[in-house]
A and B are shown apart, each in its own frame.
Chain A
Amino acid sequence: MAELTYRDAVAAAIAQEMRRDETVVFLGEDVAWAGGVFKTTVGLLDEFGEKRVRDTPISEQAIIGAAMGAAMTGLRPIAEIMFSDFFAVCWDLIANQIPKTRYMTSGQVIMPLVIRTANGGGVRFGAQHSQSIENWAMMIPGLKVVAPSTPADVKGLLAASIRDDDPVIFFEQKSLYADKGEVPDGEYVEELGKAKVLREGTDATIIALAAMVPRAMKAAERLQAEDGISASVVDVRCLVPLDTQTIFAEIRKTGRAFTVEENPRLCGWGAEISSLAMEECFWDLDLPLIRITTPHIPLPSADALEDEALPSVERIYNTVREGLD
């Protein structure tokens, strides 16, 4: 095991896959010479050269459209959109074209591409550079949606996404880039569509994604230490496919479940899990599912307001404690 940062794990996964498969190519704005504005792709240009690692003009539609065309004709492109907010700029491709091509060609055309992007808040980038948009992607039939919380998952899940024959949207949470963690040595590939139980508990189940996972873990530790409340924590990891088996099992164990998400309150993935659990786990629930979310507002960028808007350890702790009262 080596210790890697979340950001280094991105380059490690791409390099691992580019070494084993010549059809993997990588394109985006400032990804090659500068190694990415978040320094997530440092070293790839040096190792694989300009033919396979390309800086593009500022043209999101052409980046994703070209990646789509290349994927349809035998390459396995990884395309970067610098900020997930700019998915809105190339949404026709992401929502209308990429996810529908296999379907509309009766399976003749496959779409093995990955769109990587820096998602989410916590770094004061304001309403148009901080959104958590994994729920936008989740609601489009035909896309797979991945959002890791640790360096190991970045490497394993990104590698799996690249090998997948369907389009995968890979959300990197930008406030986690500096986080460090153990990553298995050698070739490492995880399976898409598996949630992970990070902490076993008996009183409450906290279901979280990406940057909310470490916060949920801290809140769970505090609940144990200060209140003797034993909470399990589930890292969802993939929204599509959604591992309802693991998630429901953890909800059934405690009968009291909480989702923690960065999405604005309406139509976040927490609402979907909550609604599925109502259908599938209703008789095992002691409490209605409680969603801990960002209020239904654009994310403010002033320090004090952003901290207030995003679910904090404090808010998770208080909500669970009061919910169990």
Chain B
Amino acid sequence: MADEKIPYTQYLQADGSVVGNLPEFAEDQELVLALYRHMNRARRFDTKAVAMQRTGRLPTFPPALGQEAFHVGFASAMSADDILFPTYRDGPAQMVRGVQLEELLLFTAGDERGSDFQVPRCDFPQAIPIATQTAHAVGAAYAMKLRGEKSVAVTTIGDGGSSKGDFYEAMNFAGVWQAPVIFLINNNGWAISTPRDRQSAAPTLAQKGDAVGVPGQQVDGNDVLAVYHVVSEAIAAARSGKGPALIEALTHRLTDHSTADDASRYRDADLLSEQWKEEPMIRLRTYLSNQGWWGKEDEESMLTELDQEIERAVENFEASDAPEAAAMFDYMYAELPADLMAQRAEVIAAHGHEGDGS
């Protein structure tokens, strides 16, 4: 899918071998091990959430299987003060940002308390209506600029979402305003059942930035070092006043669109097994062991720790009380108008419960 005019970055090939000159941070053992741990945490959590959905303990869940390098790479490149405008696919990035596993489970279960994450307070909740988040990010970037802050807005969208008018309009605004916003396309090849080549006749999605003066580039989304690198550079440029950027990460959606989907209805099984060969974890593990930073024991103890952490989160999630019926009126307005107070009272009368009643 490469195009001569569109830069493409990759450092780690599928077999773990290195191409080109690695950026300096790749020698930072602590940083790279943290990326690896985050990716594993994301994948274990994902597996657990899908299993919970299959046994009726969670409603529909959108797995991120295979896209961990994208999520962990870009989220790790952000500073605490930057603001993320994510989609439903970005749970793993939210985890890196500090959102608790328990909060993600609550959110998935439809409990709005799951969007009231304690860290990071300024990140937005997942956008499920496609593409709306892109314009929000531009507005936030404008607000940051107005206040003279050095933070950057980062927003993600899928290959499918990039077909929406909102996305073009948001990028166009960002270009005109030179707003500090990074648009990240997670091109995982599919929008539910619609493959990438039926989404757009453009050879790359990165070139969509050209039309509006936003520089676009592609990156191997299965290579966490490459993602971390290009996003870090784009953020640094935006922070120093050089305006917006568009980055298209090439990933593979290695499972269904969501637990409500069955991709075997429309996807070729051979294609999927080819794509598994490019998945992002093994190549990074190969790199780590080639560096002499990682062995079998490290792997085992990390996985045990992660599984324990996930189990604790699930226990806490399952032990949390269902919201009170009257809670559906909380947060409607700063002050609940009288007619809604009356409707709330009716619900309470029918149940004898009180919400937390703000």
Contacts and interface: CB of A to CB of B under 8 A. Distances in A.
Q: Do A and B come from one complex?
A: yes
A57 B199 contact: yes
Contact of A58 (B161, B265, B329, B343): B161
B189 interface: no
Contact of B327 (A128, A129, A305): A305
Contacts of B160: 57-58
Contacts of A129: 128
A262 to B, nearest CB: 15
Interface in A20-40: 29-30, 33-35, 37
A55 B190 CA distance: 13
B112 A300 contact: yes
B20 interface: no
Contact of B343 (A34, A55, A126, A265): A265
Contacts of A126: 110, 128
Please indicate which of the listed interface residues A86, A128, A297 has the most CB atoms of chain B within 10 Å of its own CB. A297
Interface in B103-152: 109-112, 128-131
B164 A59 contact: yes
B129 A89 contact: yes
Given A30-B192, A124-B59, A302-B109, A295 B347 contact: yes
B325 A58 contact: no
B323 A304 contact: yes
A305 B128 contact: no
A145 interface: no
Contacts of B261: 34, 37
Interface string B251-285: 00000000011000110000000000000000000
Interface string A267-299: 000000000000000000000000000011100
Nearest to B131: A58
Interface centre among A37, A296, A297, A305 (most CB of B within 10 A): A305
A61 interface: yes
A3 interface: no
B165 interface: yes
A319 B328 CA distance: 21
A183 B266 CA distance: 30
From DSSP, what is the main secondary structure of chain A's interface residues? Answer: loop
A79 to B, nearest CB: 16
A128 B110 CA distance: 12
B192 A295 contact: no
Nearest to B266: A33
A301 B114 CA distance: 12
Given A85-B129, A300-B328, A302-B322, A295 B110 contact: no
A308 interface: yes
Nearest to A314: B350
B232 interface: no
A59 B161 CA distance: 8
A309 B329 CA distance: 10
Contacts of A297: 328-329, 332, 340
B110 A29 contact: no
Given A85-B129, A126-B128, A295 B163 contact: no
B193 A295 contact: no
Interface residues of A, number: 33
B290 interface: no
Contacts of B344: 295
Nearest to A307: B325
B185 to A, nearest CB: 13
Interface in B299-358: 322-323, 325, 327-329, 332, 339-340, 343-344, 347, 350-351
Contacts of A304: 322-323, 325
Nearest to B109: A302
Contacts of A301: 110
B323 to A, nearest CB: 6
Contacts of A309: 328
B212 interface: no
Contacts of A58: 130-131, 160-161, 163-164, 191, 194, 199
B17 interface: no
Interface in A110-136: 124, 126, 128-129
A130 B344 CA distance: 21
Contact of B265 (A35, A128, A302): A35
A179 interface: no
Contacts of B5: none
Interface in A248-268: 265
A216 to B, nearest CB: 19
B340 A86 contact: no
B198 interface: yes
B200 interface: yes
Interface in B217-267: 260-261, 265-266
A33 B329 CA distance: 41
A303 B131 CA distance: 27
Given A301-B110, A303-B110, A57 B194 contact: yes
B269 to A, nearest CB: 15
Contact of A302 (B110, B161, B343, B350): B110
Contact of A55 (B198, B323, B328): B198
Contacts of B339: 296
A38 B128 CA distance: 17
Contact of B347 (A29, A34, A37, A308): A308
Given A57-B199, A129-B128, A308-B325, 8 more contacts: A29-B191, A34-B261, A85-B129, A126-B110, A296-B339, A300-B328, A301-B110, A305-B325
8 contacts: A34-B261, A55-B198, A57-B199, A58-B194, A265-B343, A295-B344, A305-B327, A305-B328
